[in-house]
C-alpha cells in the first residue's frame, strides 16, 4: 500500500438510505481507520452527482436503494468509476443478488450484518483499494512501456531525431490541420558529397557527421519545429513560417553556418556543406506529394553546384527550361518569349513588373546609350536583348521579398542579388551566346570592382551600360520601398556614383538621350 494509504488519507463514499445503517457502516470504517475521510449520501441520485464532482478511493453501496439497485447504479456511473473499486453491502444473501453484483463489475459483496458488526467491511475495502492501486500502477507501467516502444519505433537511433514513421503517423492523425498559422515551410537538407566522406574517412566518420549535423540543426529551430531524419544523409525540417522568403532566409543562414563548420574525426577536420530544397504549403496540403516537390528542389540545388538553397518554384521553372531546351525548332529569343509567357501568370505583381515594363524600359534605354557610345550594331543588339532579359532571374526570388517595403537585411540582400546568376543560367539554357549571358551575370557589378568579382577580368561594356540603365529606370519608378525620383535627381545620383558604382562614360552618355526627357514627362 502506498504512503497516502498507510497514513490513512483515504476517501471513501458510503451510499446508504437507512440512517441507522449509515451510522453503523461509518463506525465500522472509522474504527479501523480513524483518519479516513468518509462521506455518506442517501440515494443513487446523490451518489451520481457526487461521483461526477469528486474522486474516491473506494465506494460502499447498499444493494437496495430507493431509486436504484446497486448493480444498476454501478452500470450508470461506470464512466466515473473507471479506477474506483465498489463494495456492495446487502441484507439479502441470495445467490442471484450476489451474482448480479459481481456481473456489474463490483469487486466484493459483504453481508450487511457482517459489514456493520465486524472488521469485514474494512478488510474488504482495504483489499479492494490495494488491488485497485496495484492494477493502476501496472496499467501505468504498461503505458510507459508502450510509449517507450512507440518512441523507439519513431526515433532514428543514430541521430536521435524523429524518423519517417513519425511523420507518417502525424499525417494519419492530421496533426497540423487545425494549426492557426495556416502555412508550413518544408526544408529537405542533404549533406553534400556524403559518399566521399564515407569512402575517405570511413562509415564511422559518416555517422559522426550525421550526428553533428543533427545536433546543430536542433539548435537552429524553434520548439514548434519538427526535425526528421528522412533517409540516408537527408534531414527534413517542418517549420511554421509566414512566407517562403522568411524560410529561404533561414535556410541560407543555416547553409552558410554549416559551410563554416567542420566535423572533427580523430585527428582530422572534415569540411562539410549542405544542399537545401524548400517548399511552402497550406497545412492541409502537407502530404507526401509536398515532400516530393521539396525533394525535387533539393535535387536542383545539387545540380546547380551544391552548397545552395533552391525552392519548388525554381524547380518548376527549371523543368520548363529543360523542355524548351529540347525544342530545336525555336530560336533563343522564341524560347525566352515562351518561358516568359509560361511563368508570368504564376508570378506576383512585383515580379511581373520587373520582367515586363521595367525590363522593356531598360532594354530601350540601353540601346540608345549604346548608340551614343558608338558601339557596333551587334553589341547594340546584344545590350538591348540583355536588357530585356536582365531581370528574368527574379522569377526565382520570392515575391514577398521583392515587394518588401522596408530595408533588406544583409541576408535578404544576398538572396535578391542571386537573381543575376539565376538569370545568366536561364539565358544560357535558352541558348543565348556567352556575351549576353555575361552581360546578365554582371549587370549589378560595380565599375570600381569593390563587389566580389574574383572570377571576372573586366566588366563587359554591355554590362556597364545595363548597370547604369537599370539603376536609372529603378530610381524613376515608384517601388514599395521608395518613391519615384525625378529625372534630374536620378541623373544627379548617377553622377555622385560616377567612377565608383557606374562607368563615367556611360553616365555621361545617359545625359544626352532625349528620350529620357520624354520618359520623365
The three three-digit cell numbers of residue 499, written as one number: 567612377
389, 495: one domain: yes
User: Around 455, how many Cα atoms within 13 Å sit in the side-chain half-sphere?
Assistant: 4
> What distances in angstroms separate CA 399 from CA 181, 367, 404, one per listed residue?
20, 29, 8
Across 103-107, 272-276, 496-500, the highest mean pLDDT is recorded for 272-276
* 469: pLDDT strictly greater than 70: yes
Which residues, in sequence order, are CB contacts of 10 under 8 Å at separation 6+?
4, 33, 36, 37, 57, 58, 129
* 2: pLDDT strictly greater than 70: no
367, 514: one domain: yes
In a domain, 152, yes or no: no
Cβ(18)–Cβ(116) below 8 Å: no
302, 332: one domain: no
**CATH number, domain at 14?**
3.40.50.2300
* 195: pLDDT strictly greater than 60: yes
In a domain, 341, yes or no: yes
In a domain, 475, yes or no: yes
| CA dihedral for 310, 327, 425, 409, sign (positive or negative) | negative
Domain count, the chain: 3
| Interatomic CA distance for residues 210 and 198, integer angstroms | 11
Cβ(59)–Cβ(13) below 8 Å: yes
Q: Which domain holds residue 223?
A: 164-311
Task: Give the pLDDT score at 5.
Answer: 45
How would you write 60-112 as a 3-class SS string?
A: EEECECCCCEHHHHHHHCHHHCCCCCEEEEECCCCHHHHHHHHHCCCCEEEEH
**CATH number, domain at 288?**
3.30.70.270
* 62: pLDDT strictly greater than 70: yes
30, 135: one domain: yes
pLDDT digit string, tens, across residues 476-487? 998 877 889 988
Domain stop point among 97, 116, 145: 145
Task: Give the pLDDT score at 1.
Answer: 43
- 391 burial via Cβ count (<10 Å: 0-12, 13-18, 19+): buried
**CATH number, domain at 353?**
1.10.3210.10
| Interatomic CA distance for residues 253 and 236, integer angstroms | 16
Domain stop point among 251, 282, 311: 311
379, 512: one domain: yes
The three three-digit cell numbers of residue 95, written as one number: 445467490
Which residues, in sequence order, are CB contacts of 464 under 8 Å at separation 6+?
447, 502, 503, 506
Q: What is the mean pLDDT of the chain?
A: 89
Cβ(108)–Cβ(128) below 8 Å: yes
80, 212: one domain: no
pLDDT digit string, tens, across residues 327-350? 999 999 999 999 999 999 999 999
Q: Which residue has the higher pLDDT, 278 or 284?
A: 278
In a domain, 135, yes or no: yes
Instruction: Please give the torsion angle defined by the CA atoms of residues 218, 220, 225 and 231, in that order, rounded to the nearest 10 degrees.
Output: -50
- Number of CB atoms found within 10 A of residue 394's CB: 26
401, 504: one domain: yes
372, 516: one domain: yes
The three three-digit cell numbers of residue 62, written as one number: 447498499
376, 515: one domain: yes
| Interatomic CA distance for residues 216 and 194, integer angstroms | 17
190, 336: one domain: no
168, 210: one domain: yes
User: Around 43, how many Cα atoms within 13 Å sit in the side-chain half-sphere?
Assistant: 5
99 falls in which pLDDT band (50, 70, 90)?
A: confident
Minimum mean pLDDT range among 99-103, 351-355, 392-396: 99-103
In a domain, 318, yes or no: no
Domain stop point among 255, 278, 311: 311
240, 178: one domain: yes
| Interatomic CA distance for residues 89 and 72, integer angstroms | 14
> What distances in angstroms separate CA 253 from CA 110, 279, 308, 466, one per listed residue?
73, 17, 11, 30
In a domain, 217, yes or no: yes
In a domain, 155, yes or no: no
In a domain, 410, yes or no: yes
Amino acid at each position: 500500500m502506498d504512503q497516502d494509504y498507510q497514513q490513512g488519507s483515504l476517501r471513501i463514499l458510503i451510499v446508504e438510505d437507512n440512517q441507522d445503517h449509515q451510522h453503523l457502516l461509518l463506525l465500522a470504517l472509522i474504527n479501523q481507520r480513524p483518519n479516513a475521510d468518509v462521506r455518506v449520501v442517501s440515494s443513487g441520485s446523490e451518489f451520481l452527482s457526487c461521483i461526477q464532482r469528486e474522486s474516491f478511493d473506494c465506494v460502499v453501496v447498499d444493494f437496495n436503494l430507493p431509486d436504484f439497485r446497486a448493480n444498476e447504479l454501478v452500470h450508470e456511473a461506470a464512466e466515473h468509476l473507471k479506477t474506483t473499486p465498489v463494495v456492495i453491502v446487502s441484507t439479502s444473501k441470495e445467490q442471484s443478488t450476489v451474482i448480479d453484483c459481481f456481473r456489474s463489475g463490483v469487486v466484493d459483496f459483504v453481508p450487511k450484518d457482517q459489514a456493520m458488526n465486524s472488521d469485514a467491511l474494512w478488510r474488504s475495502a482495504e483489499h479492494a483499494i490495494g488491488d485497485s492501486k496495484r492494477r493502476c500502477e501496472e496499467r501505468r507501467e504498461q503505458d510507459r512501456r508502450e510509449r517507450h516502444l512507440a518512441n523507439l519505433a519513431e526515433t532514428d537511433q543514430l541521430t536521435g531525431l524523429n524518423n519517417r514513421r513519425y511523420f507518417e503517423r502525424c499525417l494519419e492523425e492530421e496533426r497540423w490541420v487545425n494549426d492557426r498559422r495556416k502555412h508550413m515551410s518544408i526544408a529537405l537538407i542533404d549533406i553534400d558529397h556524403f559518399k566521399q566522406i564515407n569512402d575517405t574517412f570511413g562509415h564511422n566518420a559518416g555517422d559522426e557527421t550525421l550526428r553533428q549535423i543533427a545536433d546543430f540543426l536542433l539548435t537552429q529551430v524553434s520548439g514548434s519545429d519538427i526535425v526528421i531524419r528522412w533517409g540516408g544523409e537527408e534531414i527534413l525540417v517542418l517549420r511554421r513560417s509566414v512566407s517562403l522568403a522568411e524560410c529561404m532566409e533561414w535556410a541560407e543562414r543555416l547553409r552558410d553556418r554549416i559551410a563554416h563548420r567542420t566535423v572533427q574525426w580523430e585527428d582530422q577536420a572534415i569540411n562539410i556543406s549542405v544542399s537545401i530544397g524548400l517548399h511552402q504549403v497550406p497545412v492541409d496540403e502537407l502530404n507526401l506529394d509536398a515532400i516530393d516537390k521539396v525533394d525535387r528542389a533539393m535535387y536542383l540545388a545539387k545540380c546547380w553546384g551544391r552548397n545552395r538553397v533552391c525552392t519548388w518554384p525554381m524547380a518548376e521553372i527549371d523543368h520548363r527550361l529543360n523542355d524548351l531546351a529540347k525544342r530545336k525548332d525555336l530560336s533563343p529569343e522564341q524560347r525566352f518569349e515562351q518561358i516568359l509567357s509560361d511563368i508570368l501568370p504564376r508570378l506576383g505583381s512585383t515580379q511581373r513588373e520587373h520582367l515586363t515594363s521595367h525590363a522593356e524600359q531598360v532594354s530601350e534605354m540601353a540601346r540608345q546609350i549604346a548608340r551614343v557610345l558608338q558601339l557596333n550594331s551587334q553589341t547594340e543588339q546584344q545590350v538591348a536583348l540583355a536588357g530585356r532579359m536582365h531581370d528574368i532571374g527574379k522569377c526565382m526570388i520570392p515575391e514577398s521579398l521583392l515587394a518588401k517595403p522596408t530595408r533588406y537585411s544583409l541576408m535578404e540582400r544576398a538572396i535578391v542579388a542571386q537573381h543575376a546568376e539565376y538569370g545568366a543560367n536561364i539565358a544560357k539554357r535558352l541558348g543565348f551566346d556567352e556575351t549576353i549571358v555575361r552581360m546578365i551575370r554582371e549587370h549589378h557589378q560595380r565599375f570600381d570592382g569593390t563587389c566580389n568579382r574574383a572570377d571576372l577580368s573586366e566588366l563587359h561594356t554591355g554590362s556597364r551600360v545595363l548597370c547604369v540603365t537599370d539603376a536609372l529606370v529603378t530610381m524613376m519608378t515608384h517601388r514599395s520601398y521608395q518613391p519615384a525620383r525625378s529625372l534630374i535627381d536620378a541623373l544627379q545620383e548617377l553622377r555622385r556614383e560616377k567612377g565608383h558604382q557606374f562607368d563615367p562614360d556611360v553616365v555621361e552618355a545617359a545625359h544626352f538621350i532625349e528620350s529620357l526627357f520624354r520618359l520623365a514627362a
